[in-house]
């Protein structure tokens, strides 16, 4: 549930996957030097000693051969599970006792359509697992919306810290309860701030202006409009609030309001749209729940991912291209998976519903026997079955 390559490597080691084909869309051409590359892999292991303890550990290694480059052998960085660097090694350092081999291909959408039409690329009866990632249509950073609206880093950080200490949901159901409460608070702030600004704009008389709310008064008025703060979330079967102490929760609420009332109307609308959520799926290995602003980890200036925001017209064109891909006679998947890539912040959230609807429509029309009741939705999807963009 964390990374595609984690599944692919594991599935390759068990023999489930012998050939992996990655089809990339035209907008990602900047990251590819060739329209089609094929690599032949040999997977093995080596033994290394940990730097600090000297303990011997088994490390995954492999050799890669392509038509362009000579054979190169590498091992995974074993000093940290979070380090994705590959370390070059000599071939005789890697043991291939299990005889695990495979083929890896990267190919453009256009080349894939041509090869599939030829009928020689994927042979009849070949077992195929088809995985469609919704970020095939485009990739955006949720945090960009906050940047563009002018929300300062320190304000976003302050709110994120308060949310993290205030809400402690362990499930997606609790996540939705917390986000609904957060959204309702912003709606009240929006309404009251709009009234305050209208009051100030309606007159130039200083006496009358002084009768309009100040920011401190606005904060207190909104706070007084939510007297039963904990009741909405306390009555839920799961504890959504970190603390049972009303006084502590009121302090956190005042902290949120203190940041919210200073924001502009457009900025508040962006914050409501972004929402709050669990940082990772409850399906994650060694799951540690954490509530935060739902900006994901795909942040500008901290990722090598190429951003692309597709128009509605482009989405429809991409869907037609998928129809061409899936119309190949020899392509008969035994199993189909769809990855939303919304919680991790890659698929454009505002367009995710249309993207997913288009993909499902193409799958149903392309593969006989694909019925609605055959589709399984993971219970931990962000925003549930309907998705994040349509949650309110």
- At residue 372, does pLDDT exceed 80? no
The separation between CA 121 and the C-alpha centre of its own chain, rounded to angstroms, equals 32
Place of tokens 């606005």: 218
The pLDDT of 146-163, averaged and rounded, is 90
Task: Say which residues have a Cβ less than 8 Å from residue 216's Cβ, sequence separation at least 6.
Answer: none
pLDDT at res. 331: 87
> pLDDT at position 207, please?
59
pLDDT given at position 303: 59
Confidence of residue 39 (pLDDT cuts 50, 70, 90): very high
pLDDT for 187:
93
Whether the pLDDT of residue 229 is over 60: the answer is no
344 CB-near residues (< 8 Å, 6+ apart): 296, 297, 298
Q: How does residue 392 score in pLDDT terms, banded at 50, 70 and 90?
A: confident
The predicted structure's pLDDT at residue 12: 83
What is the pLDDT of the chain when averaged over all its residues?
Answer: 87
Question: What pLDDT score does 206 carry?
Answer: 62
Beta strands at 19-24 and 36-49: parallel, antiparallel or unpaired: unpaired
User: CB–CB of 145/274 below 8 Å?
Assistant: yes
Tens digit of pLDDT for each residue in 160-177? 999 999 999 888 888 998
Structure confidence by residue, pLDDT tens digits, 230-269: 566 666 656 788 888 888 988 999 999 999 998 999 999 9
> What end-to-end distance do the CA atoms of the chain give, in Å?
26
Quick one: pLDDT band at residue 83, thresholds 50, 70, 90? low
- Locate the domains of the chain by residue range: 125-141+304-392, 143-293
- Residue 375 CA to residue 369 CA, distance in Å, equals 12
The full 3-state SS of the chain, as one line of letters, equals CCCHHHHHHHHHHHCCCCEEEEEECHHHHHHCCCCEEEEEEEEEEEEEECCCCCCEEEEEEEEEEECCCCCEEEEECCCCCCCCCEEEECHHHCEEEEEEEEEEEEEEHHHHHHHHHHCCCCCCCCCCEEEEEHHHCCECCCHHHHHHHCCCHHHHHHHHHHHHHHECCCCHHHHHHHHHHHHHHHHHHHHHHHHHHHHHHCCCCHHHHCCCCCHHHHHHHHHHCCCCHHHHHHCCCCCCECCCCHHHHHHHHHHHHHHHCCCCHHHHHHHHHHCEEECCCCCCCCCCCCEEECCCCCCCCCCCCCCECCCHHHHHHHHHHHHHHHCCCCCCCCEEEEECCCCCCCCCHHHHHHHHHHHHHHHHHHCCCCCHHHCCCCCCCCCCCCCCCCCC
High-pLDDT (> 90) share of the chain, %: 49
């Amino acid at each position: 549930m964390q990374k595609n390559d984690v599944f692919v490597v594991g599935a390759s080691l068990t023999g489930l996957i012998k050939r992996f084909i990655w089809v990339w869309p035209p907008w990602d051409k900047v990251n590819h030097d060739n329209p089609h590359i094929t690599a032949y892999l040999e997977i093995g292991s080596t033994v290394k000693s940990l730097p600090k303890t000297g303990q011997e550990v088994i490390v995954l290694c492999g050799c890669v051969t392509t038509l362009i480059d000579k054979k190169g052998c590498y091992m995974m960085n074993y000093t940290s599970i979070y380090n994705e660097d590959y370390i070059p090694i000599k071939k005789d350092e890697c043991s291939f006792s299990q005889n695990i081999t495979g083929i890896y291909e990267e190919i453009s959408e256009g080349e894939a359509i041509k090869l599939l039409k030829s009928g020689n690329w994927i042979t009849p009866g070949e077992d195929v697992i088809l995985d469609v990632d919704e970020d095939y249509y485009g990739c955006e950073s949720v945090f960009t919306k906050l940047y563009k609206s002018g929300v300062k880093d320190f304000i976003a950080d302050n709110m994120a810290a308060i949310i993290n200490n205030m809400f402690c949901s362990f499930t997606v159901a609790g996540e939705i309860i917390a986000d609904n409460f957060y959204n309702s608070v912003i709606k009240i702030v929006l309404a009251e701030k709009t009234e305050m600004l209208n009051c100030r704009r309606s007159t130039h008389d200083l006496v009358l202006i002084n009768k309009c709310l100040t920011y401190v008064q606005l904060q207190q008025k909104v706070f007084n409009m939510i007297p039963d703060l904990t009741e909405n979330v306390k009555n839920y079967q799961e504890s959504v609030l970190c603390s049972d102490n009303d006084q502590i929760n009121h302090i956190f609420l005042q902290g949120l309001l203190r940041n919210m009332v200073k924001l502009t109307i457009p900025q508040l609308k962006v914050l409501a749209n972004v929402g709050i959520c669990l940082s990772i799926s409850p399906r994650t290995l060694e799951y540690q729940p954490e509530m935060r602003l739902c900006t994901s980890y795909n942040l500008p200036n901290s990722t090598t991912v190429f951003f692309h925001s597709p128009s509605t017209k482009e989405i429809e064109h991409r869907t037609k291209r998928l129809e061409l891909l899936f119309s190949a006679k020899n392509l008969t998947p035994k199993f189909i998976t769809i990855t939303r890539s919304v919680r991790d912040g890659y698929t454009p959230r505002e367009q995710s519903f249309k993207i997913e609807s288009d993909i499902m429509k193409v799958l149903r029309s392309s593969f006989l026997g694909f019925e609605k009741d055959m589709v399984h939705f993971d219970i931990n999807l962000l925003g549930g079955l309907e998705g994040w963009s349509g949650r309110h």
